[in-house]
């Protein structure tokens, strides 16, 4: 039998005709993730960045000072610049227009060829930007205004519809690229306004003197909704010339990276007044660094290579961190600020409270991966370490008061790190060696497989008792927390682990914390925060989320954190019982009776009593008053009996859970800093600005 199978395999033909050759842009459509990272929301926005980057590179070269990005009603995007315009003459190698070559051929563009190329420095990756966007769009149009003419070419899924042709005369110069992402490729085509604003704001800081306009025209009706008619935006160079009343934002900064650092620190308290800044070129690598320390325990390093944001860092960040640690240790020991007993500052110590922007510009640039997330160019590491190290050393020598403040901040971090290690070791030692593997208040589940286990974090012993009675003991664990946990945004790890409530939660999760954190050891794949539907419950939920965001970020990223949605109302219509999770749902259940809402609300303890002894009595009263409707407003999980809590909040077949995700970590960081940090003015301003939107349960 084995011989027969072998003969069958030997008979399978494998020759040249079995080798697939994908022509043109076909590889992009077959494997889009290789070129834009994903076909989700990040990949969708990556299309905008690729086209914008081409215009931005014109600005970096000094040929463009204005870029406009417009989101149009049909989910298409229009990017306009006043640069030189993509060349339209016949390309000597491809024998077609240079515009067509750029738009339909991978690895084609003006960013190759050394000093004779169109760009000295560019953010373009492998020359694939425009052609990849074209391949992944159901429709693309390129318009070039150049040498007194307007030239145009249209494409469908990367294939040209006709040759490049001159369609009009023009006094403008620049390029307009319009594209509509292909629904066959992307899971959802919905551009996020805030994501685009935040990304392009960064770019405006990075290119001094560049004006960037962003216009949201998605709600605009081109036929009836403004001064223009349907084809007006196709006939104007700048969309803003239509003078429509649409949501828009403009950015223009002269301060560069110093302004960007100040922007990031606008809600923080600096520990030294001036922002350090250096810009210098060494060995054909341009290095630009700005930094400032603030009164915070977190750090932010925002890296760029040729103005491309590198969310995964890279060689330039490595060079920066190495130099920062070396310079601070050298200065601190030389000036007797770091004692022998302290030892040396580590990389983590010198990062605490740091906000820095590190930007490099290279002629030949290498990224790890198509999406430019990580810089791989080795020459950047040495260049940054040398330029930044020398300049920062001089800065400390010339500003002794600021240097002392920075060293003191790092020493505080060093001592806190040592104290936190001792506290953490104590927690782990107690958990593993003293028979307290799990906290006493935890009612654990029976299954040991984390994938099928879930834990409810509930507010107080009353809700904890009800949840323990109502749960599915096989898969559901219950951990009651007493009152409000410590606000860890204002506390270091050593003090945090001194809190019994936080300690119980850390041990129950099983991941450990800090440098020994291990996501693989997590005991539950659903960590469900179930607090009361009132102001205190919301506060406790926020405190827990702050803890998770700061110290258990991988748990959040893995999608293991959920928020329970207990009902707000129990509605009895005769013998029928309904649960409503919002005011709107309540009114829908009530129908016409919603107009008599105040008369129907049940006072606490009246008519509807949740104690087991009163169940029969409630049923009798309901029968006698079957024509009436009673509404009970739940203010806490403890007001439900075990059966109600299971049915509405814990039963996987009925319950509603909200998964907690972090779409924009940078913005999330600012929100946590503002709402939970020690600085009062930003929080006060936020409350005053948003007070009218609050819905208070008083």
Which long-range contacts does 395-403 make (Cβ < 8 Å, 24+ apart)?
A: 395/276, 396/327, 396/328, 396/331, 397/331, 399/272, 399/274, 400/335, 401/272, 402/272, 402/273, 402/274, 403/331, 403/335
Please give the structure tokens belonging to residue 5. Answer: 């199978």
Q: Say how many C-beta atoms besides its own lie within 10 A of residue 355's C-beta.
A: 24
| 333, two tokens | 């020991």
Residue 422 burial by Cβ neighbours in a 10 Å radius (0-12, 13-18, 19+): exposed
- The C-alpha atoms of residue 42 and residue 38 are separated, in whole angstroms, by 7
Q: Which of 368, 536, 585, 587 is catalytic?
A: 536
What are the residue ranges of helices labelled H in 307-456? 315-334, 347-351, 378-398, 400-433
Q: How many CA atoms lie within 13 Å of 514's alpha carbon, on the beta-carbon side? A: 18
Does 232 qualify as catalytic in the annotation? no
Reading the block at residue 398, the tokens are: 């010339």
Between β-strands 300-305 and 354-362, what pairing exists: parallel, antiparallel or unpaired? parallel
What is the three-class DSSP state of 463? helix
Residues paired with residue 66 on neighbouring β-strands, in sequence order: 211
Nearest-angstrom CA–CA distance, 475 and 148: 72
Q: Which residue has the tokens 């500003």?
A: 399
**3-class secondary structure, 251:** strand
Q: What is the DSSP letter of 254?
A: S
Give me the catalytic one of 532, 639, 644, 673.
532
Q: Where are the alpha helices (DSSP H) in 96-227?
A: 98-104, 129-135, 193-206
Contact of 353 with 324, CB cutoff 8 Å: no
Q: How many CA atoms lie within 13 A of 499 on its CB side?
A: 18
In 10 A of CB 698, how many CB atoms? 4
CA distances from 151 to 102, 167, 174, 176, 520 (A): 14, 6, 11, 10, 57
Catalytic choice (461, 500, 534, 587): 534
Q: Which distant-in-sequence residues (6+ apart) come within 8 Å of 583 by Cβ?
A: 568
Say what the alpha-carbon torsion angle 136, 67, 192, 224 is, to the nearest 10 degrees: -90
- Beta strand 149-156 pairing with 165-169: antiparallel
Cα–Cα distance, 396 to 399 (Å, whole number): 5
42 as an active site residue: the answer is no
User: Which one from 100, 379, 454, 459 is the annotated catalytic residue?
Assistant: 459
Active-site annotation holds for 583: no
Q: For the residues of 196-228, what is the DSSP string, one character each?
A: HHHHHHHHHHHSTT-EEEEEE-TT--TTTSSSS
Active site residue 532: yes
Please give the positions annotated as active site: 459, 532, 534, 536
């Amino acid at each position: 039998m084995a011989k027969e199978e072998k003969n069958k395999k030997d008979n399978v033909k494998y020759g040249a005709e079995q080798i697939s050759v994908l022509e043109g842009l076909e590889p992009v459509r077959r494997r889009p993730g290789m070129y834009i990272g994903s076909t989700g929301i990040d990949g969708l926005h990556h299309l905008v960045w690729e086209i914008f980057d081409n215009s931005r590179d014109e600005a970096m070269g000094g040929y463009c000072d204005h870029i406009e990005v417009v989101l149009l009603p049909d989910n298409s995007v229009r990017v306009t610049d006043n640069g030189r315009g993509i060349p339209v003459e016949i390309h000597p190698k491809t024998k077609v227009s240079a515009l067509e070559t750029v738009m339909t051929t991978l690895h084609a563009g003006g960013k190759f060829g050394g000093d004779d190329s169109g760009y000295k420095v560019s953010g373009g990756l492998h020359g694939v930007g425009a052609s990849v966007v074209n391949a992944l769009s159901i429709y693309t149009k390129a318009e070039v205004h150049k040498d007194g003419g307007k030239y145009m070419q249209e494409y469908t899924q990367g294939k040209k519809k006709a040759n490049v042709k001159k369609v009009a005369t023009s006094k403008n110069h620049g390029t307009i690229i319009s594209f509509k992402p292909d629904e066959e490729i992307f899971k959802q085509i919905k551009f996020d306004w805030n994501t685009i604003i935040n990304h392009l704001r960064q770019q405006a800081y990075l290119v001094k003197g560049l004006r960037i306009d962003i216009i949201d025209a998605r709600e605009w009706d081109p036929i009836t909704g403004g001064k223009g008619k349907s084809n007006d935006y196709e006939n104007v160079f700048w969309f803003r010339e239509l003078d429509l009343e649409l949501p828009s934002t403009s950015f223009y900064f002269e301060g560069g990276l110093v302004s960007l650092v100040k922007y990031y620190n606008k809600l923080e308290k600096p520990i030294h007044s001036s922002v350090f800044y250096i810009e210098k070129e060494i060995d054909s690598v341009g290095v630009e660094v700005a930094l400032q320390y603030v009164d915070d325990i977190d750090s932010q390093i925002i890296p760029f290579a040729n103005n491309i944001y590198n969310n995964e860092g890279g060689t330039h960040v490595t060079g920066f961190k190495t130099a920062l640690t070396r310079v601070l240790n050298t200065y601190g020991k030389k000036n007797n600020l770091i004692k022998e007993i302290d030892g040396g500052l580590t990389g983590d110590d010198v990062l605490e409270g740091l906000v820095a922007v590190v930007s490099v510009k290279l002629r030949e640039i290498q990224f790890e991966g198509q999406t430019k997330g990580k810089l791989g160019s080795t020459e950047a590491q040495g260049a940054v370490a040398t330029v930044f190290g020398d300049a920062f050393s001089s800065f400390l020598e010339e500003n002794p008061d600021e240097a002392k403040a920075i060293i003191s901040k790092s020493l505080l971090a060093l001592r806190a790190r040592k104290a936190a290690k001792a506290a953490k070791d104590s927690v782990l030692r107690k958990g593993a060696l003293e028979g307290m593997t799990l906290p006493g208040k935890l009612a654990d589940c029976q299954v040991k497989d984390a994938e099928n286990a879930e834990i409810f974090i509930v507010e107080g012993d009353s809700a904890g008792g009800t949840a323990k009675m109502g749960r599915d003991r096989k898969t559901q664990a219950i951990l009651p927390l007493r009152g409000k946990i410590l606000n860890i945004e204002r506390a270091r790890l050593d003090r945090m682990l001194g809190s019994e409530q936080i300690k119980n939660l850390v041990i129950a999760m099983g991941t450990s914390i800090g440098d020994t954190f291990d996501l693989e050891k997590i005991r539950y794949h659903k960590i469900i925060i179930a607090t009361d539907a009132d102001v205190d419950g919301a506060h406790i939920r926020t405190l827990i989320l702050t803890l998770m965001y700061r110290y258990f970020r991988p748990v959040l990223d893995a999608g293991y954190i959920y928020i329970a949605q207990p009902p707000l109302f129990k509605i009895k219509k005769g013998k029928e019982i309904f649960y409503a999770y919002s005011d709107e749902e309540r009114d829908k259940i009530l129908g016409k009776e919603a107009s008599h809402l105040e008369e129907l609300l049940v006072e606490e303890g009246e008519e509807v009593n949740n104690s087991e002894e009163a169940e029969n009595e409630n049923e009798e009263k309901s029968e006698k008053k079957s024509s009436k409707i009673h509404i009970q407003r739940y203010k806490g999980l403890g007001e439900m009996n075990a059966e109600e809590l299971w049915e509405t909040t814990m039963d996987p077949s009925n319950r509603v859970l909200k998964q907690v995700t972090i779409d924009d970590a940078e913005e999330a960081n600012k929100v946590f800093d503002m709402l939970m940090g020690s600085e009062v003015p930003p929080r006060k301003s936020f409350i005053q600005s948003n007070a009218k939107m609050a819905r208070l349960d008083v």
